[in-house]
Amino acid sequence: MNYLFVIPARGGSKGLPGKNIKLLNDKPLIIYSLEFARLFTSDDNICITTDSDEIADCVKQYGYTVPFKRPTELATDGAGMHEVILHALMYYEQSGKKFDAVILLQPTSPLREKRHLDEALELFNKEVDMVVSVTESEANPYYNLFELDKNGFLVKSKPGHFITRQECPKVFSYNGALYIINTESLRQEQIHKFNKIKMYLMSADYSIDIDTELDWQILKTIIKNKK
């Protein structure tokens, strides 16, 4: 199969300004994802899609040239990842390149290892909409997640009579590290409406997704301990 590696890197970030090029062990955060993609393919099949000249200049120092500048309308807080990926695919298709799937690598999840994608790719085929990396969630709708009912009182999000969390069905959350997305599915449906999704389970210590300063401090601690 032919894969396009897409690394989305918007310039704006409210939770942690400049996070995509923030230095982690003296290396910009986005470079971890670029180097990861380079383990699998050449730069011709890697698309860093960004609206930021600063990010483009940053990756250029590591030998990568951004193929295009992302349109302003695809760089707002409300812009969807579905549209961003389709825009990238269209750019490459106009030059005659076709891809069976997109491998989305969020710069904010730098702890993935080569074996993770190798294993996730084994789960993917053309009958699947997406393979996505997940981690088991500590919060559970059968046990400690609640909603407000019509009277304003807290009720469990999913009904059940479980005494301990261990008795509850396991639940999982996307960890942001890996998405392998069928391009035909992308053209037919929004990502959040996919029905045929397979999960690739990753442990919590590989599942940090950077959004806030607290996340950043946790990431630094994890990397320090790994070293």
Do the beta carbons of residue 177 and residue 112 sit within 8 Å? yes
* Nearest by Cα to 127 from 166, 153, 100: 100
Q: pLDDT tens for residues 115-146?
A: 999 999 999 999 999 999 999 999 999 999 99
Q: pLDDT tens for residues 206-222?
A: 999 998 999 999 998 88
What's the CA gap between 93 and 73, in Å, rounded? Answer: 21
Q: pLDDT tens for residues 154-192?
A: 999 998 888 888 899 999 999 999 999 999 999 999 999
> Can you give the pTM of this predicted structure?
0.92
H helix intervals, 77-212:
81-93, 114-121, 183-188
Average pLDDT of 28-33?
A: 97
Read off the amino acid at residue 163: I
**26: region left, alpha or beta (phi > 0 left; psi from -120 to 50 alpha):** left
Q: pLDDT tens for residues 65-120?
A: 999 999 888 877 777 899 999 999 999 999 899 999 999 999 999 999 999 999 99
* Domain residue ranges in the chain: 3-226
What's the CA gap between 46 and 9, in Å, rounded? Answer: 13
* Nearest by Cα to 11 from 65, 46, 55, 57: 55
Angle CA 73–106–224, to nearest 5: 140
- Its CATH architecture, for the domain 3-226, is Alpha-Beta Complex (3.90)
To which residue do tokens 């009579």 refer?
A: 161
Q: Give 62's contacts (C-beta < 8 A, 6+ positions apart).
A: 31, 34, 35
DSSP string for 116-147: HHHHHHTT--TT-SEEEEEEE-SS-TTTT-EE
Predicted confidence band of residue 227 (pLDDT cuts 50, 70, 90): low
Task: Say what the pLDDT of residue 187 is.
Answer: 94
